[in-house]
Amino acid sequence: MSEALHSDIHFGRRPLQRSSTVSASVAAPELARVVEFLTSLCIELDASIEPNTPNPHLNMILHLLHSHSEGRLVSPSSMVAAAGVPYATATRKLAELKDSGLLEQRPRTKSGKSFSLHPSPRLLDRFSQVADRIERLARVSFGTASETEETEHYYYGGSYQAARATIAPPRALPQPLKLPGGLRILVHGDPTFMVMDNLKRQFEQLVGTNIHQRAFSIDRLREEALRNSDRSKSRYDLIAVDLPWLGEFIKKGVIRPLTDVMDVSRLDPADFHTAGWRAAHWDGTPYGVPSQTTPELMFYRKDWFASEGLEPPVTTDAVIDAARHFHDPRRGRYGVAWNAARGTALGHTFMMTCAAFGQPIIDLPEIAGGYDADHLGSREFRPALNTDRALAAADYLMQLLEFSPPDILSMSWYERVRPYASGKVAMAYGYTLLAPYFELDDSCSAHGNTGYLPHPHGPEGAPIAPVGGYVFCVPSNLAEERLEDTVEALVAFTSPGAQKLYAQSGSRTAPRYSVGADPEVRRLSPIFELVDQMSWRDELQFWPRPPIPQISDIIRICGHELHDMLRGIVSPREALDRAQARAEDFMRQQVT
């Protein structure tokens, strides 16, 4: 991460660090590994066996794919040089590759006389299939892994099933983006967006222009997005919007409807997780494209529970029992970690805990499978912060407090994961985007020992995985001459190929079904398959954080009043009554 980017991240944490012992296969795309293997193999064969004949087609393809994966531009002259044959022969072979549709060229100057070469979608798709077969052959032939059921099924047609098809790497745009000053993006400083920054060079090569990504903490991100909307011209081409902010940003005119700037069918909406795509809408109109869909889950130590003969904690009562069982402060071990820091962090916790006890924080109409958060602009709502179920949720937080680390009242998004990763905590509430802190670091005690569950539910609740994450939106005040190319960037950054690349580079968010079903992605983490299953079971829901225009104020109110409750200044009932009264005042105010 660059120093400039690091200075923009104001939440007091270090960027994601990967252990030096982590296998390169965890972070590197499969295709790139196979390209590197074949390149090394060709060099070894050429140097060891004589006489031999170079394969110019293969040499040029490997050079092109290797450069593509590293974000380096390829010129025709470099392709000719990589062919390993005389100039005239190499030029003829390069023309054959172009004629076969395996290459695309993109102009580098207005005259079009200078151009760069890129792998075509046809080449990327074909080579992805070859890469998968080569890896399987290597595992079987050299015994690098035991033959699994997956490998066995490959020889009986398993790899030809649609759900097992691999997604090809992202392709370069046919024309470079013409955005003076480059593409400017405002994002949250979380691991997924940091992965995007680490891939900056590759994506600059794909879109043909410089990319400037500015990252903020969650509260400062909202403030900057609102400040930006007051400017005559937007400083950003794309802004990342937290799902609960959608209603506020629409009412205040911060973002444009997608239908005003693009053909939405280009995004393949049916491929997005249902809850994540619905959360990007306001009264039926899409305003953003999911860039990350990350449900909050319960992380728990599978090994600890198994050694003690305990079942995974699927209810709130089970969480308290397990937390009590594992809590041993004298040994530096605690039962559970969660967001209890004053303000936004605790406000989010209370919203999602209310959902686990069977109700939203406003009077949403009840429907099959939950509550209706799809039609929020057509009526007024009343806070529901002092109901019996909300009181049960508050009492649950008071019980959690007893079995939490001593610094729990200042613990927020990242602080709750650190003690869990290091083996000091048995359970932790956390978004899937935080899982890389222990999944990619085999020095962590929680590495390979973590189970994932939907939110444990109360007596009147049901298993639920509250959807978090961000959607990319187009600012309302973006200059008209930048719109067309910004849309092209939006489509490219949220495509299946791009999302797969994020996952292969360390992200644990996948907003698309196709990405979660990709066999190469599924091998990276159990999260992807589990989240897909939760979506199919309708456990992924966005109503726990309803995006009404006043939601940020309500979250802040809850986070302050309930913090006083946790500190013992007020009782749970008094805290909820105060939160209810303050929220009602805000709900009566007109949002402009």
Per residue in 21-61, pLDDT (tens digit) is 333 332 234 677 777 778 777 777 776 777 778 888 888 88
Position 150 confidence tier, pLDDT thresholds 50, 70, 90: very low
The two most distant CA atoms of the chain are separated, in Å, by: 87
Whether omega for the bond prior to residue 365 falls within 30 degrees of 0, making it cis, is: no
CB atoms within 10 A of CB 96: 13
Place domain 183-293+468-534 in its CATH homologous superfamily.
Periplasmic binding protein-like II (3.40.190.10)
Dist. CA 20–CA 346, nearest whole Å: 34
- DSSP code of residue 443: T
CA dihedral of residues 340, 468, 429, 398 (deg, nearest 10): 40
- DSSP code of residue 464: B
Q: Which amino acid is at 555?
A: I
Supply the pLDDT for residue 61: 86
504-539 confidence digits (pLDDT tens): 999 999 899 999 999 989 999 999 999 999 998 999
Phi, psi of 211 (to 5 degrees): -120, 130
> Of 473, 4, 433, which is closest to residue 195 (Cα–Cα)?
433
Supply the pLDDT for residue 22: 33
Q: Which amino acid is at 54?
A: P
400: Cα within 13 Å, side-chain hemisphere? 27
Buried b (16+ CB within 10 A) or exposed e, 296-306: bbbbbbeebbe
242: Cα within 13 Å, side-chain hemisphere? 26
Range in 76-90, 266-280, 470-484 with the lowest mean pLDDT: 76-90
Contact 65/205 with Cβ under 8 angstroms? no
Range in 115-119, 233-237, 243-247, 554-558 with the lowest mean pLDDT: 115-119
- Which residue in the block uniquely carries the two structure tokens 């004589």? 50
Q: What is the pTM of this model?
A: 0.77
Across the chain, what does the average pLDDT equal? 86
**Burial grade of 370 (CB within 10 A; 0-12, 13-18, 19 or more):** buried
3-state secondary structure of 314: coil
95: Cα within 13 Å, side-chain hemisphere? 6
Spans of all domains in the chain: 30-164, 183-293+468-534, 294-467+541-587
Helices 200-207/56-70 angle, 10° precision? 120
CATH fold group of domain 30-164:
Arc Repressor Mutant, subunit A (1.10.10)
Is residue 1 over pLDDT 50? no
Is residue 261 over pLDDT 80? yes
538-588 confidence digits (pLDDT tens): 999 999 999 999 999 999 999 999 999 999 999 999 999 999 999 999 888
**Burial grade of 80 (CB within 10 A; 0-12, 13-18, 19 or more):** buried
Position 500 confidence tier, pLDDT thresholds 50, 70, 90: very high
Q: Express as a percent the part of the chain with pLDDT over 70.
A: 88
Position 10 confidence tier, pLDDT thresholds 50, 70, 90: very low
CA dihedral of residues 109, 112, 114, 116 (deg, nearest 10): 90
- Which residue in the block uniquely carries the two structure tokens 């400040």? 227
59-108 confidence digits (pLDDT tens): 888 888 887 777 677 888 888 888 888 888 888 888 888 888 888 887 87
| Fold match, 183-293+468-534 / 294-467+541-587 | yes
308-366 confidence digits (pLDDT tens): 999 999 999 999 999 999 999 999 999 999 999 999 999 999 999 999 999 999 999 99
CB atoms within 10 A of CB 33: 17
Q: Could you tell me the two tokens for 590?
A: 């007109």
CA distances from 65 to 34, 205, 216, 254 (A): 10, 13, 34, 40
> Of 386, 517, 534, 405, which is closest to residue 464 (Cα–Cα)?
534
Point out which residues pair with 296 in neighbouring strands: 431
CA distances from 124 to 28, 101, 119, 165, 170 (A): 16, 11, 6, 13, 8
Place domain 294-467+541-587 in its CATH homologous superfamily.
Periplasmic binding protein-like II (3.40.190.10)
